[in-house]
Amino acid sequence: MRTDLHPRTTDRLAAVRNLGILAHVDAGKTTVTERILYLTGTTHKRGEVHDGTTVTDFDPQERDRGITIFAAAVSCDWDGHRINLIDTPGHVDFADEVERSLRVLDGAVAVFDAVAGVEPQSESVWRQADRHGVPRIAFVNKLDRAGADLDAAVDSIRRRLHPAPLVVQLPIGTEDGFTGVVDLLRMRALVWSGGDTDVCEEGPVPDALVEEALRRRRVLEEAVAELHPLALEEFCAESTLSARTLAAALRDLTRTGEGVVVLCGSAYRNRGIEPLLEAVVAYLPSPLDVPAVRGTRDGAEQERAADPAGPFAALVFKVSSTSTGRLTYLRVYSGTVGKGEAVLDVGGRRTERISRILRVQADRHAEVDRAVAGDIVAVVGVKAARAGATLCVPSAPLVLEPPSVADPVVSVAVEARRRTDIERLVTALARLVEEDPSLAVRTDSETGQTVLSGMGELHLEVAVEKVRRAHGLDVGVGRPQVAYRETVGRGVSGLVYRHVKQDGGAGQFAHVVLDTEPLEAADGDGNGGFAFRSAVVGGRVPQEYVRAVEAGCRDALAEGPLGGHPVTGVRVTLTDGATHPKDSSEMAFRTAGRLALREALRAGTTVLLEPVVEVTVTVPDDAVGGVLGDLAARRGRVSGSTARAGTAVVTVTVPLAELFGYATRLRSRTQGRGTFTARPTGYAPAPGVPSGG
Which of the four pLDDT bands, split at 50, 70 and 90, describes residue 521? low
The 10s digit of each residue's pLDDT in 534-577 is 999 888 999 999 999 999 999 999 899 988 889 999 999 999 99
Q: What percent of the chain has pLDDT over 70?
A: 89
DSSP string, 20-73: EEEESTTSSHHHHHHHHHHHTTS-SS---TTTT--SS--SHHHHHHTS--S-EE
Q: Among 69-73, 170-174, 559-563, where is mean pLDDT lowest?
A: 69-73
Q: What pLDDT does residue 594 have?
A: 95
DSSP 195: T
What is the per-residue pLDDT across 19-48, written as a single tens digit (0 to 9) for each? 988 988 788 888 898 888 888 887 756 655
Residue (of 212, 210, 258) closest to 232 by Cα position: 258
Same fold, 410-483 and 609-685: yes
Helix H or strand E encompassing 147? none
Beta strands in 468-604 (DSSP E): 475-477, 481-482, 485-490, 495-501, 508-518, 530-534, 567-568, 570-578
Nearest C-alpha neighbor of 153 from the set 111, 98, 184, 185: 111
The count of other CB atoms within 10 Å of the CB of residue 489 is 16
Tell me: pLDDT of 667 over 70. yes
**Residue 235: CB partners within 8 Å, gap ≥ 6?**
221, 222, 225, 241
In this model, does residue 6 exceed pLDDT 80?
A: no
Q: Is the pLDDT of residue 645 over 90?
A: no
CATH 3.40.50.9100 is held by the domain 7-283: no
Burial-class residue 153 by CB neighbours within 10 Å (0-12, 13-18, 19+): buried
Distance CA 297, CA 281 (A): 35
Q: Give the residue with greater pLDDT, 382 vs 520.
A: 382
Instruction: Give the pLDDT confidence score for residue 406 in this predicted structure.
Output: 76
* Predicted confidence (pLDDT) at residue 194 exceeds the cutoff of 50: yes
Q: To the nearest whole number, what is the mean pLDDT of the chain?
A: 86
Task: Work out the percent of the chain whose per-residue pLDDT is above 90.
Answer: 41
Q: Where are the domains of the chain?
A: 7-283, 293-400, 410-483, 486-603, 609-685
Residue 668, number of CB atoms within 10 A of its CB: 11
The answer as to CATH 2.40.30.10 being correct for domain 293-400 is: yes
pLDDT of residue 671: 74
Give the CATH number of domain 486-603.
3.30.230.10
Q: What is the DSSP letter of 98?
A: H
pLDDT at residue 58 is higher than 60: no
Q: If you average pLDDT over residues 251-264, what whole number do you get?
A: 95
Mean of the pLDDT values across residues 605-612? 91
pLDDT of residue 510: 94
Torsional sign, CA 100, 101, 107, 110 = negative
pLDDT tens, 362-396? 556 788 899 999 999 989 999 888 888 999 999 98
Give rounded-to-5 percent helix, strand, coil for the chain.
30, 35, 35
Q: Is the pLDDT of residue 324 over 80?
A: no
CATH architecture of 410-483: 2-Layer Sandwich (3.30)
Radius of gyration over alpha carbons of the chain, in Å? 28
Looking at residue 248, what is its pLDDT?
95
| CA-wise closest residue to 320 among 366, 362, 359, 350 | 362
pLDDT at res. 526: 43
pLDDT digits (tens, 9 = 90+) for 402-449: 888 877 878 888 888 888 888 888 888 888 888 888 888 888 766 678
pLDDT at 305 over 60: yes
Q: Which residue has the higher pLDDT, 601 or 672?
A: 601
pLDDT higher than threshold 80 for residue 60? no
Q: Does domain 609-685 have CATH number 3.30.70.240?
A: yes
pLDDT of 458-508, one tens digit each? 888 888 888 888 778 888 888 888 888 999 999 999 999 999 987 766 789
